[in-house]
Amino acid sequence: MFPKRGAVSGMIEAVRGMRDVLPAEQRAAARARAAIEAVLAAHGYTPLDLPIIEARDLYLRKLGEELAGKVYEFSFGGRELALRPEWTASVLRAYVAHMRDQPLPLRLSYAGPVFRYERPQRHTYRQFTQVGVELLGGPAPRADAETIALACAGLDAAGVTDYSVRVGHVGLLRELLAQLGLAERTQGALVWGMERMRQEGIEAARSRLREASGDPPIGLELPHGLDDEQATAWLLRTLEAMQIDLSTGSRSPEQVVARLLRKLRRRDEQPAIERALELLGSLGATRGAPATTLPAVAALLETAGLHAAAYDELRAILALLPAHGLDPARIEIDFGLGRGLHYYTGMIFEIDDPSGLQLCGGGRYDDLVAALGGRGGVPAVGFAYGLERVAAAAAAPDEPATPRVALVAPVADDDYAYAQEVARRLRAHGLAATVDVRGRPLAKNLSDAARRGVGYVAIVGIEERQSRTLVWRDLERRDERRLGLDAISTL
């Protein structure tokens, strides 16, 4: 049964913007992946593999608006499903389901495709490959320093020689906003809007907050000193006295009152929001080498009368990096870094090439195991490379001048079985060998080999078959000689 025309057009649209990876790019990606995975294995990270399709809710809970809008989601068999847009949530789901009995810290690595409905542009694809790690049960600062240094070591091994590391700290921002008395919902909106605030300015951030909260009814104000339970009861009585029917519409009365309460609380915290916007604007503009940036942040906090334990944690992470052999000149502090994923709770980092293209990113997410159903808190930190970007940024390796590839050309059909024996001998001694399967004349095989860049042709006919020899033709040197089968080992 063929799919309907509309279904076919939908499938075509879904894959538009994805790309075919041709042999040269595939070889480059395979080299980069092998180099990175060797480094991860040497640091004790064990690979696992997971399904490409997961329950949609796994990703939508903690991804954040920007990435959640790029998830390929669909319904099948009465279930809401999604193609994997990133690995961390899937790895932690697997940990909660299967590995909670494992001793901590647990070091896991992965590699495989992810899918995001991105706008196709330079080195940005709707299907790409992530290679990364999750370190579960490792607290800051040591585990954080390990992951940053490991990410750099993988790039070094893959042949990426020019890159910089930007480090921020979501926990520091949240600590400061909590001290200003802001609700957690408002804190999240401000923290995850840091990068946009730097690009668009404070006024744009203020407008987005206003639009997100909406405006409460004119003249409606909460009495001072009420907690949320008391305020909810007061609102219910007030709305009932105003003869407003809360039973209509799609929301329950409790949901309507909770939404209204948030709006009123938001108006109460507006002075704190203004102070937060000013503080975050100054922090977002603070970027540079740790030696100059950290003292500037300390002075900013002192002036604001605030303190943050996360500031000391960040200093401790940076102090450990030289012990891992990481050049401090590569490190830049950037408190405007957001990463866009809402599960981060502490240190975050990105590694960019000289053009600003992100090669790698990661950070700490201590609350995610509990959010996915795990019992108790499990500290966790990790990162992922965009493999295609790493391969593009890596220095091109020196390729051998003459590839060690041979075509075995049987002269007649009766020579085919012997040609296969010759090919097996060649492969056993380190050459790649193919046998002509089209029954072409020798002249055609020679021209085809030259066109493909094949370095050698082994010619076998009745004479070679009977004498257990072959004619070995070197196409680059234009040299030909007869060899016995045992002489293949000398090639």
End-to-end distance of the chain based on CA atoms, in angstroms? 55
**pLDDT of amino acid 8:** 44
**pLDDT of amino acid 360:** 97
Q: What is the mean pLDDT of each run of 10 residues along the chain (491 residues)?
A: 46 63 92 97 97 90 68 91 94 96 96 89 87 97 97 97 94 88 78 72 68 51 65 72 64 71 61 83 88 93 90 96 93 86 90 94 94 88 97 79 82 96 95 95 94 94 96 94 94 89
Domain 23-180+289-393 sits in CATH at 3.30.930.10
How far is C-alpha 203 from the chain's CA centre? 31
Cα angle vertex 178, ends 175, 181, to 5°?
A: 160
Which residues are CB-contacts of 246 (< 8 A; sequence separation ≥ 6)? 239, 253, 256, 257
Q: Largest Cα–Cα distance in the chain?
A: 108
Q: Is-cis flag, bond preceding 141, omega within 30?
A: yes
**pLDDT of amino acid 110:** 98
- Span(s) in the chain for CATH 3.30.930.10: 23-180+289-393
**pLDDT of amino acid 3:** 46
Beta bridge mates, 361: 350, 384
- Span(s) in the chain for CATH 3.40.50.800: 405-490
Beta bridge mates, 372: none
Which residues are CB-contacts of 126 (< 8 A; sequence separation ≥ 6)? 15, 17, 18, 115, 116, 117, 118, 120
- Topology at the third CATH level for domain 405-490: Rossmann fold (3.40.50)
Q: Which amino acid is at 429?
A: H
Cα-based distances in Å from 123 to 17, 72, 326: 12, 19, 27
How far is C-alpha 435 from the chain's CA centre? 41
Q: Are strands 164-169 and 287-288 parallel, antiparallel or unpaired?
A: unpaired
How far is C-alpha 156 from the chain's CA centre? 18
* Backbone angles phi and psi of 378, in degrees to 5: -125, 110
The pTM of this model reads 0.80
**pLDDT of amino acid 272:** 80
